[in-house]
Amino acid sequence: MQYDEIRELKTRKEDFVKILKDLIEWDEQIKTKSPKLLENLKIKKTLAEMPSKKLKITFLKLDEFIFYVVVQYKSLNGEITTSWVHEDEIYKERLLNNKDHLSYKVVCLTDLYEVAEPIHYFYKDVA
C-alpha cells in the first residue's frame, strides 16, 4: 500500500458526513476555549449541514490508519474549506479484534479511503 496517494471521495459522501457529525459531537464534549479550535468546529458544523453531494472530500493516507483530510464546499457565494489529521480509531480496533466486533459494523475513514478515487496530478520536472 502506498501511503502518499491522494484520493477523492466521489461516492458514499453521506457516510463521510456521518463520521464528520460524530467528530463534531466528540469535539463539543471537550469544551475547549481555544478560539482556533472553536472556529474549526464552527467550520466543520457548517460543512456537515451542506448537501453532501456538493462536498469535495480529499484524503492523503499518512500511515496505516492516519489520514490528512480536506473538505471543501464551493458556491457562488464563496468557499468553505477545512482540514485535519484523522486517526482512524475504528480501524485500529478492527486490527485488534475478530470480525464479530462492533468496529466491523461501523463505517470508518479507512473504508471510505478504499473506495475513493486516486487523484492523478502531473508536475513539471525542474532541472
**What's the confidence (pLDDT) of residue 121?**
67
Separation CA 107–CA 109 (nearest Å): 7
Question: What backbone torsions phi and psi does residue 24 show, to the nearest 5 degrees?
Answer: -60, -45
The one-character DSSP state at 17 is H
Q: Residues 6 or more apart from 25 whose CB is under 8 A from it? A: none
DSSP per position, 41-84:
HHHHHHHHHS-GGGEEEEEEEEETTEEEEEEEEEETTEEEEEEE
The ranges assigned to domains in the chain are 6-87
Query: 61's torsion region: left (phi>0), alpha (psi -120 to 50) or beta?
Result: beta
User: Quick one: CA dihedral 88, 106, 1, 17, positive or negative?
Assistant: negative
Residues 6+ apart with CB under 8 A from 69: 57, 58, 59, 83, 84, 85, 86, 109
**pTM for the whole thing?**
0.86
Calculate mean pLDDT across residues 83-99.
Answer: 90
Report whether 46 contacts 80 (CB < 8 A): yes
pLDDT digits (tens, 9 = 90+) for 40-49: 999 999 999 9
Predicted confidence band at 1 (pLDDT cuts at 50, 70, 90)? low
